């Protein structure tokens, strides 16, 4: 059974089909990429998996659980972590505090416990900051722990979002254009980080425009065009697919 | 003393110093007029703390807090004068009622953002105000309710200015401690996170709707308790005290004081309580006009720096090395 199964999923916004009958699966331990021209529906797929949208038809099944009717915070608890295309770090908080928010789905202390600083809350706080520190080390941002997240350059914002998602103990990580705005060195560092995350047993699904990056790290690629899947397979096969080249790669690889 | 206790003391040093300063005031201040002003500051501080959690931490604006102050005051007044309840019990029940109403109102309205939320909470305030005026059999209409008893503990009467100062500020400090604990906790971080980006907060497991309703309920309970305290001190209430104007002044105060920290609630309270008192002495008739103009002036001059003086100084020191912006939009009400 695949870890994630996208089954006959469609999504329309007021008569406009953003996704039409899309099928694909992601298996445990894979790095899978979702590519396609702008407006192909890649981010829509992410929003459907993470619960921001509900599919108009079809089902999204993760680890045997139907996500279709679940809220984003519940999906996080089931083990889906994500980052955002336009970096959504919490500007007014420090880098470390940002990552502790990732522990929210793994802790319980409520308003009363926090207000009175009861033992449960204090224990969870210690644990949250410890895990947050570890998550920062996993992406190499430990040196920036006390900086304000709003002051980070773009490349490090992406890494911070990854660290934050890692703190939720995901089984699967959705990365939305993690390489956008990165220089070559940063992209290389990102590729290393993503591979390391996979080697830790976390499955990765990513949306990316940077073709070199996609071809280098992905096991499999799904190509979307106008909301339809036009190809799926290993990177080399995708690069040879005529339809894909016509729709997308021809221009992107120039 | 153990190392843990030392760390604890150092971490909370600011709060302890503040608490000692406030609680020792009756030892040397004997003028009952000034003590009354301080007492009002105490209850306004309670209300402001709620606004600070709601607006400063969670970024949700409520222009209806006066409604909850009113429920606290009327709840206390009606339950004690009509039904002979113990004042403390009446205060607790009124706070509970306020929290429940906040919850019922919050579920639909907190889905709204920015201006829409402000409008919706204004509407709630207006409805409660109209109910206070119109439900004459219960509230006595515009005549108000008099003969509200003082607070007491056993046979110890807390109606005198000094005793009242200690109990009101004692409760206010307790609320400040709660607000500080909350803001430094998992709950506080989830609120700051959702203020910054709701989708990001949700993706990390924060149930944003639930959290917003929760903090709205806490703010309502704080406002309600403050309203009950006022009623027990003045012994008389009428609907005039619970209009939208008062809600707006509360929010203005907290913005002036600074949204970044819980202490902003204190400075803001000081501004909205002390300024009119000073102005009254200078000129009786146009106090409100001058007060309004001053509030506007402070807001304009303070724009974008609504993070309290302490925070300003700290960011200045940190940023002297690299000249980076000190404003990140965190202080904007509708953010």
DSSP B255-272: HHH-SSSTHHHHHHHHHH
Residues of A in contact with B190 (CB under 8 A): 101, 104
- For residue B291, what pLDDT is reported? 77
> B327 in contact with A at a CB cutoff of 8 Å?
no
| pLDDT at position B309 over 80 | no
Mark yes or no for CB contact B214/A111 under 8 Å.
yes
Q: Is B321 on the interface with A (CB under 8 A)?
A: no
Quick check: A91 and B193 CB within 8 A?
A: no
Residue pair A24/A209 in contact (Cβ under 8 Å)? The answer is: no
User: Residue ranges of the alpha helices (H) in chain A?
Assistant: 42-49, 72-78, 95-101, 111-115, 119-139, 154-166, 184-199, 211-217, 235-240, 242-244, 250-252
Give chain B's mean pLDDT. Answer: 86
For an interface test with A, give the residue of B204, B208, B326 to mutate (most A CBs within 10 A): B204
8 Å CB contact of B197 and A90: yes
Q: What confidence tens digit (pLDDT) does each residue in A191-210 have?
A: 999 999 999 999 999 999 88
Q: What is the pTM of this model?
A: 0.88
pLDDT, one tens digit per residue, over B258-278 is 887 788 889 889 888 888 888
The confidence score (pLDDT) of residue A27 equals 95
Q: What is the pLDDT of residue B306?
A: 45
Query: Do B203 and A82 lie within an 8 Å CB cutoff?
Result: yes
Residue A83 has pLDDT above 90, yes or no: yes
* Distance from C-alpha of B42 to C-alpha of B45, rounded to nearest angstrom: 5
Supply the pLDDT for residue B327: 40
Q: Which residue has better confidence, B313 or B102?
A: B102
Q: Which residues of B298-325 are buried (b: 16+ CB within 10 A; e: fewer)?
A: beeeeeebbbbeebeeebeeeeeeeeee
Is residue B332 over pLDDT 50? no
**Above 90 in pLDDT, residue A130?**
yes
Q: pLDDT tens for residues A5-42? A: 999 999 999 888 899 999 999 999 999 999 988 888 99
* Contacts A51 to B, Cβ<8 Å: 202
Confidence of residue B157 (pLDDT cuts 50, 70, 90): confident
Nearest to A73 among B185, B188, B202 (CB): B202
Q: Which residues of B touch A116 (CB under 8 A)?
A: 178, 181
Per-residue pLDDT, averaged over A105-117, amounts to: 90
B84 touches A: beta carbon within 8 Å: no
Specify the pLDDT at position B323.
Answer: 46
Hey, which of A182-186, B89-93, B271-275 has the most confident mean pLDDT? Answer: B89-93
Among A82, A107, A115, beta carbon nearest to B182? A115
pLDDT above 80 for B333: no
Which residue among A114, A164, A168 sits closest to B181, beta carbon to beta carbon?
Answer: A114
Going from the C-alpha of B218 to that of each of A22, A70, B72, B102, B256, the distances in angstroms are 45, 27, 13, 9, 22
Average pLDDT over every residue of B110-133: 88
DSSP secondary structure of B290-309: HHHHHHHHHHHHHTT--SHH
Of residues A157 and B301, the one with the higher pLDDT is A157
Q: Which residues of A touch B (CB under 8 A)?
A: 50-52, 71-73, 76-77, 81-82, 84, 88-93, 97, 100-107, 109-111, 114-117, 121, 124-125, 128, 148, 150-151, 161, 164-165, 167-168
Q: Give the domain ranges of chain A.
A: 4-249
Q: Which pLDDT value is given to residue B1?
A: 54
Residue B297 Cα distances to A86, B23, B281, angstroms: 36, 33, 21
Flag whether pLDDT at B295 surpasses 80: no
For the record, the structure tokens of A18 come out as: 């953003």
The per-residue pLDDT for range B33-49, each reduced to its tens digit, is 899 999 999 999 999 99
The per-residue pLDDT for A254 is 43
Domain A4-249 fold is Rossmann fold (3.40.50)
B198-229 pLDDT, tens digit each: 999 999 999 999 999 999 999 999 999 999 99
At B128, the pLDDT band (50, 70, 90 cuts) reads very high
Share above pLDDT 90 across residues of chain B, in percent, rounded to a whole number = 57
What per-residue confidence (pLDDT) applies to A96?
Answer: 95
Under DSSP, is residue A249 helix (H, G, I), strand (E, B) or coil?
helix
Chain A contact for B319, CB < 8 A?
no
The answer to whether the CB atoms of A102 and B204 lie below 8 A apart is: yes
Size of interface A-B (CB pairs under 8 A): 114
């Amino acid at each position: 059974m695949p870890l994630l199964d996208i089954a006959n999923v469609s999504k329309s916004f007021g008569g406009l089909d953003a996704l039409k009958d899309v099928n694909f699966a992601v298996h445990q331990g894979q790095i899978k990429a979702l590519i396609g021209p702008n407006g192909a529906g890649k981010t829509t797929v992410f929003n459907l998996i993470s619960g921001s949208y509900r599919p108009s038809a079809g089902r999204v099944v993760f680890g045997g659980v139907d996500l279709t009717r679940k809220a984003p915070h519940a999906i996080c608890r089931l083990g889906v972590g994500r980052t955002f295309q336009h970096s959504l770090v919490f500007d007014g908080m420090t880098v470390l505090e940002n990552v502790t928010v990732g522990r929210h789905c793994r802790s319980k202390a409520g308003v009363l416990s926090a207000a009175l600083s009861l033992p449960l809350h204090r224990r969870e706080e210690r644990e949250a900051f410890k895990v947050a520190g570890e998550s920062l080390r996993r992406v190499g941002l430990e040196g920036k722990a006390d900086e304000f997240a709003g002051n980070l350059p773009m490349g490090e914002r992406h890494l911070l979002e990854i660290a934050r998602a890692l703190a939720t103990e995901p089984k699967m990580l959705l990365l939305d254009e993690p390489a956008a705005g990165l220089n070559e060195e940063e992209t290389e560092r990102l590729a290393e980080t993503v591979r390391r995350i996979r080697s830790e047993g976390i499955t990765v699904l990513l949306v990316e425009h940077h073709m070199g990056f996609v071809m280098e790290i992905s096991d499999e690629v799904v190509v979307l065009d106008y909301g339809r899947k036009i190809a799926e397979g290993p990177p080399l096969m995708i690069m040879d697919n005529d339809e894909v080249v016509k729709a997308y790669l021809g221009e992107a690889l120039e | 003393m153990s190392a843990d206790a030392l760390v604890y003391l150092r971490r909370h040093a600011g709060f302890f110093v503040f608490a000692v300063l406030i609680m020792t005031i009756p030892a040397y201040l004997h003028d009952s007029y000034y003590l009354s002003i301080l007492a009002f500051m105490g209850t306004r501080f309670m209300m402001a703390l709620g606004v600070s959690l709601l607006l400063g931490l969670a970024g949700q604006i409520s222009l209806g807090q006066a409604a909850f102050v009113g429920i606290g005051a009327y709840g206390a007044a009606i339950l004690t004068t009509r039904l002979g309840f113990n004042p403390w019990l009446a205060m607790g029940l009124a706070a509970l009622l306020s929290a429940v109403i906040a919850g019922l109102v919050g579920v639909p309205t907190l889905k709204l953002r920015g201006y829409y939320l402000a409008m919706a909470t204004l509407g709630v305030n207006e409805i409660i105000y109209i109910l206070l005026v119109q439900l004459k059999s219960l509230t006595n209409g515009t005549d108000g309710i008099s003969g509200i008893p003082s607070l007491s503990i056993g046979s110890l009467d807390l109606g005198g200015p000094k005793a009242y100062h200690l109990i009101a500020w004692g409760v206010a400090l307790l609320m400040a401690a709660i607000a500080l604990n909350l803001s430094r906790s998992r709950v506080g971080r989830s609120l700051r996170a959702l203020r910054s980006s709701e989708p990001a907060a949700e993706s990390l497991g924060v149930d944003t709707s639930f959290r917003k309703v929760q903090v709205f309920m806490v703010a309502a309970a704080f406002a309600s308790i403050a309203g009950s305290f006022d009623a027990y001190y003045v012994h008389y209430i009428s609907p005039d005290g619970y209009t939208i104007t008062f809600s707006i002044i509360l929010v203005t105060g907290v913005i002036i004081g600074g949204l970044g920290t819980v202490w902003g609630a204190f400075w803001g309270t000081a501004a909205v309580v002390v300024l009119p008192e000073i102005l009254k002495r200078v000129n009786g008739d146009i106090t409100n006009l001058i007060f309004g103009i001053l509030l506007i002036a402070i807001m304009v001059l303070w724009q974008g720096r609504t993070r309290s003086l302490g925070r300003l100084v700290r960011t200045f020191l940190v940023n002297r090395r690299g000249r980076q912006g000190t404003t990140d939009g965190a202080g904007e009400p509708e953010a």
